Structure 1
């Protein structure tokens, strides 16, 4: 049984029974105590379960729970920084791009401050603020407007109407989760609608997602995996997840947070 399949089986058991014991999982799945504990660590890191002494219990609904920007910004910092650094190399001077809301796209914004003649469309208050603080006359930033979410995204009909009139070369999209079945997802219904409009406005879709996003499913889908021209992730991504993404996205780019290396899987 692959790690992802085992973790899905564990999660299903937790959701059914409300909790599991490590000893029971070792016996039922026929793997070591250490393997189960690693699986629980992965699920807890994704916010799907809460670890307790000797096992795990169900967490709040991960499909609809939306952590605030501050809470997300301290997770996988090294991975997000490496992903942002690599994604910045895909931006050419004089181009028009869009950045969705998210802590990884926020990290990317910092790496774009020296790119000349840049036009940036964003529905992220945080991303817009990065560019505002480093004001330069050859850069245009369009903040969509809309209703503010816990992750500091602007969403809803105002944001959708603003984006619908625009066209960009590349969208850099941050996501809550990604999976074969649901594609790229978010826990916020209005944000999903806004992100779908961003996808429609762009000639190319580049998804920025660290390895913990794999297997996490938000309540609403933004796009199928096949719609991504590229996914920039880190080398912590499991082998089975790599295979699934390689088969479905245009290009899978993996970066190693330390040291600074990268691997183009396809």
Structure 2
């Protein structure tokens, strides 16, 4: 494959990362090549399972999100480092809202170790369990429809319950960190995260580099709604550009 084609394929993926669905004519105009060239490129990228072809365009292929038990086995060192970096940033907080996910459970473990006399509101049973090791931490679990694979409650009852509280911080994980914003594979989880953001003075997203430039079903915020991103590697490309423009504080955890 020629260097020009490799560069063009990378440029197409970059464009679809920013705008998840684009038409052939839009890509041709952006990359300054013919529509015939773009169509050939899209067919080759589709054969590599990097994109999905749509009528007259393309859509960046979305990776499936493994269930919670499987995710617990991946990127262990990275998640532990993120948690170690994130917990001290919460110093002085009295009330936290914590979303579901494997990385947020790691952060909750560090909170249980490092913080005392706080209240944590969560919809995730894994978060509540690890916090129970510190008897000075008051844990409030939001009711709702239980999602067994995620170990968390979701739904309108969960969001309504959260609306009665305010917090110093919302601490949220993500299935993807795209230039368009952090997102989750579950739309119900994203609704809960949106509510947590509304109820909190500050919002922190905790996620490792494997989530960079992926797409997930439900975006729960734009980057200008997020105060801090704690991760294990500096983002690059379009994602870095958006984070800088929206003044998101990026904290890199050493692994």
After superposition, the CA RMSD in angstroms is 3.0
Q: Secondary structure at the match of 2:116?
A: coil
Contact 2:184 2:220 in 1 (8 A): yes
Q: 176, 187, 190: which one pairs with 2:188?
A: 190
User: Cα distance, 1:233 vs. partner?
Assistant: 1.2
**C-alpha spacing 1:151/1:66, structure 2 compared with 1 (3 Å):** farther
Task: Find 1:19's aligned residue among 41, 47, 57.
Answer: 47
- 1:178-224 CA-to-partner distances (Å, cap 9, x unmatched) read 2123x111111111111110110100011111111111111111000
Map 1:197-216; keep pairs closer than 5 Å: 197-216=195-214
* Distance 1:222-1:80 versus aligned 2 partners, 3 A rule: same
SS of corresponding position for 2:229: strand
Q: Is the 8 A contact 2:205 2:229 kept in 1?
A: yes
Aligned counterparts, 1:118-133, within 5 A: 118-132=118-132
Q: Counterpart of 1:256?
A: 254
In the aligned structure 1, how far is the partner of 2:218 from the partner of 2:76?
25
Per-residue Cα deviation, 1:96-122 (whole angstroms, up to 9, x for no partner): 111110111100111111311011011
Q: SS of the counterpart of 1:101?
A: coil
What do residues 64-98 of structure 1 show as CA deviations (whole Å, max 9, x unaligned)? x4421111112221111111111100122561111
What CA distance in whole angstroms lies between the structure 2 residues aligned with 1:99 and 1:254? 20
Look at both structures and tell me which one has the larger radius of gyration over its CA atoms.
2
Following superposition, the deviation at residue 4 of structure 1 comes to 6.3
CA contact (8 A) 1:100 1:123 kept: yes
Contact 1:80 1:210 in 2 (8 A): yes
Structure 2 residue runs without a partner (length 5+): 1-6, 22-40, 53-60
Question: For the residues of structure 1 that align with 2:44 and 2:144, how far apart are their CA atoms?
Answer: 38
* Greater alpha carbon shift after TM alignment, 246-255 vs 157-166: 246-255
Matched, 1:70 2:98: no
Aligned counterparts of 2:111 and 2:151: Cα–Cα separation in 1: 20
> In 2, distance between residues paired with 1:16 and 1:170?
45
Alignment partners' CA distance in 1, 2:128 and 2:161: 15
Change (3 A) 1:154 1:239: same
Native 8 Å contact 1:98 1:168 kept in 2: yes
Task: Confirm or deny: 8 A CA contact 1:94 1:116 kept in the other structure.
Answer: no
Aligned-partner SS, 1:216? coil
Work out the number of aligned pairs and report it: 219
State yes or no: 1:88 paired with 2:80.
Answer: no
Q: Is the 8 A contact 1:93 1:117 kept in 2?
A: no
Q: Per the alignment, do residues 90 and 148 of structure 1 end up closer, same or farther by CA in structure 2, a change over 3 Å counting?
A: same
Moved more, 157-166 or 241-250: 241-250
Aligned to 1:147, which of 145, 148, 162? 145
**Stretches of structure 1 lacking an aligned partner (at least 5 in a row):** 21-39, 50-59, 258-266
| Superposition TM-score, scaled by structure 2 size | 0.75
Matched with 1:32 is none
Cα pair 2:68 2:101 within 8 Å, conserved: yes
TM-score, reference length from structure 1: 0.72
